[in-house]
Structure 1
Amino acid sequence: MRGALSWPFLRLYVLTLLYFSANSILNVIIPLKGESLGATNTTIGIIMGAYLATTMLLRPWAGQVIQKYGPVKMLRIVLIVNGFALLLYTFTGLGGYFAARVLQGACTAFFSMALQLGIIDALPDKDRSQGISMYSLCASMPGIFGPLLAVGIWQAGDMNSFTAAMIAIAIVTGAAGYSARMKGDAGTSAGKKEQGTAVFKSFGQLVKNPHLFKCSILMLIASVILGASTTFIPLYAAQIESGNAAVYLMLQAGVVVLARFVLRKKIPSDGKWHSLFVMGIMVILTAAAQSVSFSLTGGAAFFYAGAVLMGLAQALLYPTLTTYLSFVLPQTDRNVLMGLFIATADLGVALGSVVMGPIADISSYSLMYMICAMLGAAMILFAYDRRTVFAGSR
Structure 2
Amino acid sequence: MKGALSWPFLRLYMLTLLYFSANSILNVIIPLKGESLGATNTTIGIIMGAYLFTTMFFRPWAGQVIHKHGPIKVLRTILVINGLALLLYTFTGLGGYFAARMLQGVCTAFFSMALQLGIIDALPDKDRSQGISMYSLCASMPNIIGPLLALGMWQTADSRYFIAAMITIAILTGVVGYSAGMEKKEAEPAAGQPGHGAKMLHSFGHLVKNPHLFKCSVLMLTASLVFGAVTTFIPLYAMQIENGNAAMYLMIQATAVVAARFALRKKIPSDGKWHSSFMMVIMLILAAGAQCVSFSAAGGTVFFYVGAGLTGIAQALLYPTLTTYLTFVLPQHDRNVLLGLFIATADLGVSLGGVVMGPVADLSSYSFMYLICAILGVSMIFFAYDRRKIFVGSR
Q: Same fold (TM over 0.5)?
A: yes
User: How far apart in 1 are the matches of 2:188 and 2:207?
Assistant: 24
Identify the residue that residue 51 of structure 2 maps to in structure 1. Answer: 51
Q: Please tell me whether the aligned partners of residues 226 and 350 of structure 2 are also in contact (alpha carbons under 8 angstroms).
A: yes
Q: CA deviation at 1:387?
A: 2.6
CA distance in 2, matches of 1:183, 1:194: 29
2:105 is equivalent to residue 134 of structure 1: no
**Are 2:334 and 1:337 equivalent residues in the alignment?**
no
Amino acid at match of 1:309: L
Which residue number corresponds to residue 374 of structure 2? 373
**Is 1:156 the counterpart of 2:145 in the alignment?**
no
- Contact preservation (8 Å) 1:72, 1:185: no
CA deviation profile, 1:300-332 (whole Å, cap 9, x unmatched): 000000000000000000000000000000000
Amino acid at match of 2:378: A
Any conservation in 1 of the 2:51–2:351 contact (CA below 8 Å)? yes
User: Hey, what does 2:116 align to over in structure 1?
Assistant: 116
Q: Residue 169 of structure 2 aligns to which amino acid in structure 1?
A: I
Query: Who is 2:393 aligned against?
Result: none
User: 2:242 maps to which residue?
Assistant: 241
Q: How does 1:1-394 map to 2 (within 5 A)?
A: 1-183=1-183, 186-193=186-193, 198-388=199-389
CA distance in 2 between counterparts of 1:168 and 1:239 reads 34
Cα distance in 2 for partners of 1:313, 1:186 equals 34
Q: Show CA shifts across 1:331-360 (max 9, x none).
A: 000000000000000000000000000000
Paired residues of 1:121 and 1:183 also in contact (CA < 8 A): no
Distance 2:343 2:337 in 1: 10
Alpha carbons of structure 1 residues 290 and 40: separation in structure 2 relative to 1, 3 Å? same
Cα RMSD, aligned residues only: 1.2
Q: Which amino acid aligns with 2:278?
A: F
Distance 1:183 1:221 in 2: 35
Q: Deviations over 1:3-47 (max 9, x none)?
A: 000000000000000000000000000000000000000000000
Local SS of the residue matching 1:387? coil
Q: What is the CA–CA distance in structure 1 between the aligned matches of 2:387 and 2:299, rounded to whole Å?
A: 37
Would you say the 8 A contact 2:18–2:172 is kept in 1? yes
Distance in structure 2 (CA, Å) of the matches to 1:89 and 1:189: 35
Tell me the distance in 2 between the aligned counterparts of 1:324 and 1:356.
30
Query: Where does the alignment leave 5 or more consecutive residues of structure 2 unmatched?
Result: 391-395
Is the CA contact 1:71–1:185 (under 8 Å) kept in the aligned structure 2?
A: no
- Report SS of the residue matched to 1:243: coil
Give the residue type in structure 2 aligned to 1:274.
Answer: H
Structure 1 residue 188: Cα displacement: 4.3
- Alpha-carbon distance change, 185 to 75 in structure 1, aligned in 2, over 3 angstroms: farther
Aligned to 1:392: none
Structure 1: gaps spanning 5 or more residues: 390-394
Q: Structure 2 vs 1, CA of residues 260 and 94 (structure 1 numbering), >3 Å: closer, same or farther?
A: same
Give the letter aligned to residue 34 of structure 2. Answer: G
Q: Distance in 2 between matches of 1:242 and 1:304?
A: 11
8 Å contact kept, 2:120–2:128: yes
Which residue type is aligned with residue 210 of structure 1? Answer: P
How far did 1:179 drift?
Answer: 0.6
The one-character-per-residue Cα deviations of 1:238-270 (angstroms, maximum 9, x if unpaired) are 000110000000000011001100100000000
SS at match of 1:388: coil
Residues matched between the structures, number: 389
1:194, CA displacement in angstroms?
Answer: 5.6
- TM-score, normalization by structure 2: 0.97
On the 8 A contact 1:71/1:184 being kept in 2, the answer is: no
Q: 2 CA distance for matches of 1:20 and 1:70?
A: 22
The residue type equivalent to 2:154 in the other structure is W
The amino acid across from 2:308 in the alignment is A
Deviations 1:178-219 (A, max 9, x none): 011115664344335269771111000000000000000000
Q: Secondary structure at the match of 2:243?
A: coil
CA contact (8 A) 1:275 1:385 kept: yes
Deviations 1:273-314 (A, max 9, x none): 000000000000000000000000000000000000000000
Q: In structure 2, how many angstroms separate the alpha carbons of the residues matched to 1:258 and 1:143?
A: 13
What TM-score do you get using the length of structure 1 for normalisation?
0.97
Q: Distance in 2 between matches of 1:351 and 1:255?
A: 24
Q: What code does the residue aligned with 1:213 have?
A: F
Measured against aligned partners, the alpha-carbon deviations of 1:56-101 in whole angstroms (never above 9, x if no partner) come to 0000000011000000111011000000000000000000000000
Report if the CA contact (8 A) 2:57-2:344 is conserved. Answer: yes
Mapped contact 2:8–2:183 kept (Cα < 8 A)? no
State the alpha-carbon separation in 2 of the partners of residues 52 and 186 from structure 1.
27
CA distance in 2, matches of 1:326, 1:195: 24
* SS at structure 1 position matched to 2:388: helix
Distance 1:26 1:92 in 2: 13
Q: For residue 388 of structure 1, report the CA deviation from its aligned partner.
A: 2.4
Report if aligned partners of 2:56, 2:345 keep a CA contact under 8 Å in 1. Answer: yes
Q: Percent identity?
A: 76
